[in-house]
Structure 1
């Protein structure tokens, strides 16, 4: 009986050892295959070392060496204008750069997100040559209920009173589009496009040419301005139609009544004749 028990025990130990051996071989083969697959994946996706953010960078923050690092980036989805070892983001003698918008951690850094060396995050960065910043007063109705963001494009409408003696010109309250596709560069005191939630702005700042600034200045002082948010792909062509109360309701103005023609009266000629103490007019034929 003891001999049988010993044989069974030895057989069990042998089977257990064989199972452990087989499991180790299976796990080892799996790990080897996994490493080979990772190496093949790494080889099949070409990458390039570019500068990314090592931690979140806030809008307007000065960028330091601790904020950035070189990291591999797939060449197939490489952003335009990246910074790499050949075109470094920061050098030893370079003036500091600042973030023009909030940058998340491990995000590729491109020129549109950082200033030039020694630059600032002010509005002048968003202005093109020949443009100036102009602030427009808005409220919940004229400011598209707080959904405007820097970078959006809007049409500007003017509503005011027109006093004209020309019967063919509209009179009274008139609404007209005065500018189309104007680019917003700031909402209140914030020029950062990455904002969450909605807030009712009091002013919006637009990038306008000198001629457009003249139009906006006069329009804001003589009437009410209303903004209309348009698509980024919109052409932004202005319409010349004016709308007043009559055209809005589909009514037409009555044509002014023509002046009556003068009535030609028959010419009557007479002569005075004294009869005693009385003077009378006697009709006589008219001579030309």
Structure 2
């Protein structure tokens, strides 16, 4: 009997130890799971709804409700001009729709800077920033970078012409080439304002966005000489310095300063003899 009682006691102690071990392991796994969940919750970024495109939209396409959908976007990464409410994107319903002023890809955020106002047509006015004006420059195959210019590109503008001011204004006469404007943005090629145009075409006119002062400079330059455009790289943020080249600098000819010959003052005298003494007297020279 005692043997049976001892055996039962040993088995009970073993089962109790096993139960404690299993419970400890289960509690540790539970704590690990809670810690992982807390870590995941700490990584969750606050989001807000924004409108994105459901399909590719080209320049001039109207934006309808079928073109957009709402997605949750990280609040810290939402662009300032993004549309977050239907009442803002479609204030007049389907009566007056916004129009894309540049090509946009699927799932791209719809922003006010990429579409017109409700009911507004696409035109140059929608591409001009406040305070800027549109100015057209005549170009050909050489001055227009062989037709590789597109709306949205930036160019430097060079003027080539003859200066005949002479010495009256202290300016040397001759033919000059000078950079008059740097980093001017193109908004239209001929009659095309689409930013998605990729084919090269020989243009006759290029329309740029310029300030009133730049417009006056370009107008004066175009009426007095020839304008040429130089294309800037897409990632070129450098500011070009003033550049001016004339024929002498082009050919490496150094101008020599001609020394001015100083004419000595003419002195006229007469000589008179008084005995053994000769007296020299200065008199006015005859003209």
Q: What residue in structure 2 maps to residue 75 of structure 1?
A: 74
Is the contact made by 1:51 and 1:70 (CA closer than 8 Å) also made in structure 2? yes
Structure 2 SS opposite 1:267: strand
Structure 1 SS opposite 2:63: coil
The reply to whether residue 54 of structure 1 matches residue 57 of structure 2 is no
Structure 2 SS opposite 1:112: helix
Q: What residue in structure 2 maps to residue 173 of structure 1?
A: 175
Q: What residue in structure 2 maps to residue 277 of structure 1?
A: none
Q: What residue in structure 2 maps to residue 158 of structure 1?
A: 159
Give the Cα–Cα distance (whole angstroms) in 1 for the partners of residues 231 and 47 of structure 2.
Answer: 40
Is the contact made by 1:79 and 1:110 (CA closer than 8 Å) also made in structure 2? no
Provide structure 1 residue ranges, at least 5 long, that are not aligned to the other structure: 1-39, 271-283
Q: What residue in structure 1 maps to residue 192 of structure 2?
A: 190
Give the Cα–Cα distance (whole angstroms) in 1 for the partners of residues 182 and 63 of structure 2.
Answer: 37
Give the Cα–Cα distance (whole angstroms) in 2 for the partners of residues 63 and 72 of structure 1.
Answer: 17
Structure 2 SS opposite 1:161: strand
Tell me by how many angstroms 1:95 deviates: 3.0
Range with bigger deviation, 196-205 or 98-107: 98-107
Tell me by how many angstroms 1:49 deviates: 4.5
Tell me by how many angstroms 1:164 deviates: 2.6
Q: Deviations over 1:134-191 (max 9, x none)?
A: 0011122212222222222221111000113229633221011111221221122112
Give the Cα–Cα distance (whole angstroms) in 2 for the partners of residues 111 and 129 of structure 1.
Answer: 15
Give the Cα–Cα distance (whole angstroms) in 2 for the partners of residues 70 and 215 of structure 1.
Answer: 47
What is the TM-score normalised by the length of structure 2? Answer: 0.68
Q: Deviations over 1:120-140 (max 9, x none)?
A: 221112222322100011122
Q: What residue in structure 1 maps to residue 145 of structure 2?
A: 144
Once the two structures are superposed, the pairs formed by residues 31-110 of structure 1 within 5 Å of their partners are: 49-66=49-66, 68-72=67-71, 75=74, 79-80=78-79, 81-85=81-85, 88-93=88-93, 95-110=96-111
Change in Cα spacing, 1:128 to 1:238, as seen in structure 2 (3 Å) is: farther
Aligned residues: 232
What is the TM-score normalised by the length of structure 1? Answer: 0.68
Q: Deviations over 1:68-101 (max 9, x none)?
A: 2324355389551332346652145573211111
Is the contact made by 2:186 and 2:207 (CA closer than 8 Å) also made in structure 1? yes
Is the contact made by 1:45 and 1:74 (CA closer than 8 Å) also made in structure 2? no
Q: Deviations over 1:180-214 (max 9, x none)?
A: 22122112211221222222222111111112111
Is the contact made by 1:83 and 1:89 (CA closer than 8 Å) also made in structure 2? yes
